Amino acid sequence: MKVTKELLENQEVTLSIQAEEGDLTPYYDRAYRRLVQRINVPGFRKGKAPRSIVQRLVGEEAMLEEAIEFFIPVAVEDAVKAEGIEQGGVPRVEVTQREPSVVLKATVPLLPKVTLNAYREIHIPADPVQVTEEEADKMLEDVRYTSAPWGPVERPVALDDQVTMDARGEVDGKVVTDQNAVVFYLTEGSIIPVNGFAEALVGATVGEPREFTLSVPEDYRDPALAGKACTFHVTVKEVKAKLLPDLDDEFAKGVGAGYESLEALKKSLRDRLLQRKEQEARQRHEESVVQELVGRATVEVSPMLVEHEAIHILEEEQQTLKRQRVTVDQYLSAVGRTEEQHREEAKKAALDRITRVYALNKVAELEGIQATEEEIDEEISDLVSDAGNREKAMRRELGTPSARSSLSSILNRRKAIQRLVAIATGETVGSSALAPETPAQESSPGGTGNAGNS
């Protein structure tokens, strides 16, 4: 096999791979074994016809195409290894010649080339976190409301009530909904069944027929009703409200596992709120530090890698929409975006994601960060902790060399973020031996893992 390499712009390289005498022989054997299972040859059992007869039936060209299909992945992988190429993604391969010898052209995306501009000069202090009395009181009121039972009240309907009602809706004189004794919660701003329905019931009394007309949204799930006026006929049968308990020690004893006093409950809620706010503040601070790093990073990346990551992003989005029972066309219509605009935005998101991942990879490299085997084992244990009867299978999957390598990359990026936060807040002293104090550091890091994880 003869290989010629040409370095291109945009972190790509082309390989011209020419098959030499005998290179395709084992792949002709594999082509025969696959073809003989596909065709029926009179006088022979399925899969038992001799190669010469199969080759005569399907033709030389078909045999060659089958052989080339088997030859391509092995030839490209061998050529990439032989040329010492740091492959960053799946190559694009085309057959440029079949006679007198097979020639392949493989365009291989290289690992992105990263330049960081003085990342050790990042200084972003963490915002202080505190819980105000108003916030603590609101959390206590939320607990009070949540734990309170519903009870009947004799007054007109108000927001936040629960009503039992008969409701009929008509569009163009045709009944589109008719329900008896349906329970409805009056939440301000609710769009169920349509926007304004809850507010239209405010002030109604039990047994009083109420009629009102509301517009059905243009993006309503039933296109036949979208944009039309719907007249509702509603009769409230019962009104219930939350029966709020007094805020005292007895109330505290009934919350959760129970608290000795109202003050003990307040302290627990305040501590819980503080912990949550500290976690949110920590995440915001980490993100601001990483965004500062990304702003200091220059990444030369193959358009093929960006395209591949964009496709991955669109596939993730499509799966999310599918779970929500929304089509891509419906989503694009709702956000007012064309398919082309959507693809371009996915490419931009892909480039941002790649930049983030490789910038963090570079920090890990310069700071000498490398996940240990013990840390990888611990991560696997965490991932399978809730797997139940799938634990053994998941451990096998996560224990493969490629999976462990991917987990190592994820852990390295996680630890790189922690190091950056320490640098940004002045918690570290001096510089890593692997991070000389120069204005910029440049490399094409390995160990990418999945660009979607950081």
Cα 202 to Cα 155: distance, rounded to the nearest angstrom: 11
- pLDDT tens string 93-145: 999 999 899 999 999 999 999 999 999 999 999 999 999 999 999 999 999 99
Taking each continuous run of H as one helix and of E as one strand, the counts in the chain are 13, 12
- pLDDT tens string 164-187: 999 999 999 899 999 999 999 999
- Whether the CB-CB separation of 206 and 238 falls below 8 Å is answered with yes
- pLDDT tens string 285-327: 999 999 999 999 999 999 999 999 999 999 999 999 999 888 8
CATH number reported for the structural domain that contains residue 157 in this entry? 3.10.50.40
For residue 451, the model assigns a pLDDT of 53
- Whether the CB-CB separation of 328 and 322 falls below 8 Å is answered with no
Clarify whether residues 300 and 369 are in a common domain. Answer: yes
Clarify whether residues 331 and 435 are in a common domain. Answer: yes
Give the list of residues 6+ apart from residue 417 with CB closer than 8 angstroms, or none: 286, 289, 290, 360, 454
For residue 41, the model assigns a pLDDT of 86
pLDDT at 434 over 80: no
| DSSP string covering 316-383 | HHHHHHHHTT--HHHHHHHHT--HHHHHHHHHHHHHHHHHHHHHHHHHHHHTT----HHHHHHHHHHH
Cα 233 to Cα 209: distance, rounded to the nearest angstrom: 7
Q: Which candidate, 96, 79, 93, 108, places its Cα nearest to that of 3?
A: 79
Residue 248 included in any domain:
no
For residue 453, the model assigns a pLDDT of 54
From 6-10, 46-50, 270-274, 282-286, the region with the lowest mean pLDDT: 46-50
- pLDDT tens string 181-231: 999 999 999 988 999 999 999 999 999 999 999 999 887 878 888 889 999
pLDDT at 441 over 80: no
- The single-letter DSSP state of residue 248 is S
Answer positive or negative: Cα dihedral of 291, 295, 296, 302.
Answer: positive
pLDDT band of 284, cuts 50, 70, 90:
very high
Clarify whether residues 285 and 233 are in a common domain. Answer: no
Clarify whether residues 17 and 104 are in a common domain. Answer: yes
Among 110, 134, 164, identify where a domain stops. 110
Which spans in 226-302 are helix H?
249-253, 262-295
Upstream peptide bond of 100 is cis (omega within 30 degrees of 0) = yes
For residue 454, the model assigns a pLDDT of 57
Residue 358 included in any domain:
yes
For residue 428, the model assigns a pLDDT of 59
For residue 440, the model assigns a pLDDT of 47
CATH number reported for the structural domain that contains residue 297 in this entry? 1.10.3120.10
pLDDT band of 40, cuts 50, 70, 90:
confident
Percent of the chain predicted with pLDDT > 70: 94
- The single-letter DSSP state of residue 120 is G
Among 242, 275, 304, identify where a domain stops. 242
Query: For residue 76, what are the domain limits?
Result: 2-110
Residue 127 included in any domain:
no
CA distances from 14 to 107, 272, 293 (A): 4, 57, 32
Clarify whether residues 425 and 294 are in a common domain. Answer: yes
What is the maximal distance between C-alpha atoms in the chain? 95
Cα 79 to Cα 231: distance, rounded to the nearest angstrom: 72
Residue 124 included in any domain:
no
Residue whose token pair is 């891509």: 328
Give the list of residues 6+ apart from residue 147 with CB closer than 8 angstroms, or none: 245, 254, 255
pLDDT at 444 over 90: no
Cα 339 to Cα 229: distance, rounded to the nearest angstrom: 31
For residue 47, the model assigns a pLDDT of 85
Residue 301 included in any domain:
yes
Residue 134 included in any domain:
no
Mean of per-residue pLDDT scores for the chain: 90
Clarify whether residues 422 and 283 are in a common domain. Answer: yes
Q: Which candidate, 216, 220, 184, 227, places its Cα nearest to that of 202?
A: 184
Q: What is the token pair recorded at 136?
A: 């603590």
Cα 141 to Cα 132: distance, rounded to the nearest angstrom: 14
- pLDDT tens string 392-430: 999 999 999 999 999 999 999 999 999 999 999 998 544
What is the distance of C-alpha 435 from the center of its chain? 32
Clarify whether residues 286 and 327 are in a common domain. Answer: yes
Clarify whether residues 226 and 277 are in a common domain. Answer: no
Among 52, 79, 110, identify where a domain stops. 110
Clarify whether residues 204 and 285 are in a common domain. Answer: no
For residue 39, the model assigns a pLDDT of 87
For residue 48, the model assigns a pLDDT of 87
Structural domains counted in the chain: 3
Q: What's the average model confidence in pLDDT over 320-340?
A: 90
Q: What is the token pair recorded at 316?
A: 């993730």
Clarify whether residues 311 and 398 are in a common domain. Answer: yes
* Phi, then psi, of 210 in degrees rounded to 5: -130, 135
Residue 416 included in any domain:
yes
pLDDT at 448 over 70: no
For residue 439, the model assigns a pLDDT of 42
pLDDT at 437 over 60: no
Residue 350 included in any domain:
yes
- Whether the CB-CB separation of 193 and 222 falls below 8 Å is answered with no
Other residues' Cβ atoms within 10 Å of the Cβ of residue 296: 16
CATH number reported for the structural domain that contains residue 22 in this entry? 3.30.70.1050
For residue 365, the model assigns a pLDDT of 95
Give the list of residues 6+ apart from residue 195 with CB closer than 8 angstroms, or none: 189, 214, 215, 217
Cα 32 to Cα 92: distance, rounded to the nearest angstrom: 26
Clarify whether residues 163 and 35 are in a common domain. Answer: no
Clarify whether residues 299 and 425 are in a common domain. Answer: yes
